[in-house]
């Protein structure tokens, strides 16, 4: 539960928000779209490329089969809300916060990440009628037709690999089919877009270049979200298969290092890759002094061995703070502005959805996965065809998964 602090502070402000003056008022009923649009949305095969929901899997009292609530426990994904929002599956994230680049740091990170991968598999094994692991595009289609939710796995931050690239094969064997080299801070493989110390490698390190080659060899889709601009450029130039940005946004909408400028959006799309739109980094959102003081008074969110009851109790205090001192938040129109701008640059074959649910995502009027039909409604209103929308919801990502695996097979002579 090391990421619970980020998840809860970033996604649990249902009861109050200060909208930007330029933002339009979001619909009053989250997820409320016309029946015809909902039916159209449900006809698409849909996926999200960045679900941090495994953060909750080991928490005593929390179940993927129960319906939770953002204001109750901070979570944004569970099976009832997936069904309500028509989400058929996605990439469940093996996330590890960045730590020391030492032998001991690598060992702890490796063990943590392998344990998280086990927790994902255990969730699926415990609910075989509802979920199934997916390793290929064909798996995802088959699982969906069987009426179950497909579970791909991804690595956010490859720090747990340490300096032993054979661990990439280990994670591949567990089901990992997408991986990003770096997170908020630079590591042994690559520069981050947000490390306050700046660059150390000017892109990939020598070990990072070997990481990239090994990802290609195995058929793991290369994810450049969180990575520096140099990494984006080098990944496009050097990867043997098109790349993805699994949860990123448009710098033209909000100028933040985590977002992509128009040139790199176009570069990724022109090379056959895609940018999955994030619901984070959409506007400046500094807390007022009063809000900061109130948050400090309730203490940090429960972590590590916390139970569901512990989290619910803390969330009640957090919701009270939100009501008294509303956070500054972006709204659904801001999220769509990022998507629509990216679509103008990349085209419908270069855009996908990765909202960062349970990892800090969610904006006013777009609080959890039950709200996903709003994207379909807005895209239809903007004139995008059903084929375009299907590509955005899953077609582009499935094409990239297939492409990464096709290269691996060809390179192996199969």
The sign of the CA dihedral 173, 63, 82, 25 is negative
In terms of phi and psi (left: phi > 0; alpha: psi -120 to 50; beta: otherwise), the region of 383 is: left
For the residues 182-208, what does the mean pLDDT come to?
98
For the residues 343-365, what does the mean pLDDT come to?
97
- Letter string b/e over residues 208-220, b meaning 16 or more CB atoms within 10 A of that residue's CB: bbebbebbbbbbb
Model confidence pLDDT, tens digit, residues 63-101: 999 999 999 999 999 999 999 999 999 999 999 999 999
pLDDT at residue 38, as a whole number: 96
Model confidence pLDDT, tens digit, residues 200-237: 999 999 999 999 999 999 999 999 999 999 999 999 99
Reply yes or no on whether the pLDDT at 11 is more than 50: no
For the residues 173-183, what does the mean pLDDT come to?
98
pTM summary value: 0.92
pLDDT at residue 304, as a whole number: 74
Reply yes or no on whether the pLDDT at 277 is more than 90: yes
**262-270 helix and 332-346 helix, angle to the nearest 10 degrees:** 60
Task: Band the pLDDT of 25: cuts 50, 70, 90.
Answer: very low
The 3-class SS string of 161-223 reads HCCCCHHHHHHHHHCEEEEECCCCCCCCCECECCCCCCCCCCCECHHHHHHHHHHHHHCCEEE
Domain ranges of the chain: 4-411
Task: Band the pLDDT of 285: cuts 50, 70, 90.
Answer: confident
For the residues 185-198, what does the mean pLDDT come to?
98
Measured between alpha carbons, how far is 74 from 312 in angstroms, rounded to an integer?
A: 8
Are the C-beta atoms of residues 92 and 64 closer than 8 Å to each other? no
Topology, domain 4-411: TIM Barrel (3.20.20)
Reply yes or no on whether the pLDDT at 30 is more than 80: no
pLDDT at residue 26, as a whole number: 37
Measured between alpha carbons, how far is 401 from 178 in angstroms, rounded to an integer?
A: 8
Pairing of strands 244-248, 328-329: unpaired
Residue that the structure tokens 């009832």 belong to = 80
Model confidence pLDDT, tens digit, residues 250-276: 999 999 999 999 999 999 999 999 999
Task: Band the pLDDT of 6: cuts 50, 70, 90.
Answer: very low
In sequence order, the β-bridge partners of residue 180 are 156
Q: Which residue has the higher pLDDT, 301 or 160?
A: 160
As a whole number, the mean pLDDT across the chain is 93
């Amino acid at each position: 539960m090391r990421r619970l602090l980020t998840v809860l502070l970033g996604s649990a402000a249902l009861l109050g928000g200060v909208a930007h003056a330029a933002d339009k008022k979001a619909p009053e009923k989250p997820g409320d779209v016309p029946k015809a649009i909902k039916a159209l949305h449900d006809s698409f095969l849909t996926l999200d490329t960045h679900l941090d929901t495994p953060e909750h899997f080991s928490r005593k009292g929390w179940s993927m089969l129960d319906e939770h609530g953002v204001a109750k426990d901070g979570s944004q994904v569970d099976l009832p809300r997936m069904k309500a929002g028509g989400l058929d599956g996605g990439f469940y994230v093996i996330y590890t916060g960045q730590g020391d680049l030492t032998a001991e740091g690598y060992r702890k990170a490796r063990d943590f990440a392998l344990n998280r991968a086990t927790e994902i598999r255990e969730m699926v094994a415990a609910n075989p009628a509802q979920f199934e692991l997916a390793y290929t595009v064909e798996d995802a289609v088959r699982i969906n037709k069987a009426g179950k939710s497909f579970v791909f796995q991804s690595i956010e931050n490859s720090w747990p690999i340490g300096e032993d690239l054979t661990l990439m094969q280990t994670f591949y064997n567990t089901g990992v089919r997408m991986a990003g080299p770096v997170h908020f801070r630079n590591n042994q493989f690559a520069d981050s877009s947000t490390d306050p110390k700046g660059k150390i490698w000017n892109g990939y390190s020598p070990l990072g270049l070997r990481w990239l080659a090994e990802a290609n060899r195995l058929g793991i889709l290369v994810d450049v979200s969180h990575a520096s601009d140099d990494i984006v450029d080098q990944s496009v130039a050097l990867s043997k298969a098109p790349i993805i940005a699994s949860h990123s946004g448009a710098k033209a909408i909000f100028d933040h290092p985590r977002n992509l400028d128009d040139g790199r959006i176009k570069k990724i799309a022109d090379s056959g890759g895609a940018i999955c739109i994030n619901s984070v980094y959409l506007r400046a959102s500094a807390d007022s002094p009063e809000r900061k003081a109130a948050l400090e008074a309730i203490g940090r969110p429960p972590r590590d061995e916390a139970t569901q009851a512990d989290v619910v109790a803390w969330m009640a205090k957090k919701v009270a703070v939100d009501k008294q001192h509303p956070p500054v938040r972006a709204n659904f129109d801001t999220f769509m502005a990022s998507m629509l701008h990216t679509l103008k640059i990349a085209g419908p074959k270069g855009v996908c959805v990765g909202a960062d649910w349970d990892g800090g995502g969610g904006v006013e009027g777009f609080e959890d996965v039950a709200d996903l039909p709003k994207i379909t409604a807005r895209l239809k209103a903007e004139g995008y065809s059903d084929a375009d929308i299907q590509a955005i919801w899953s077609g582009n990502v499935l094409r990239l998964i297939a492409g990464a695996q096709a290269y691996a097979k060809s390179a192996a002579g199969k």
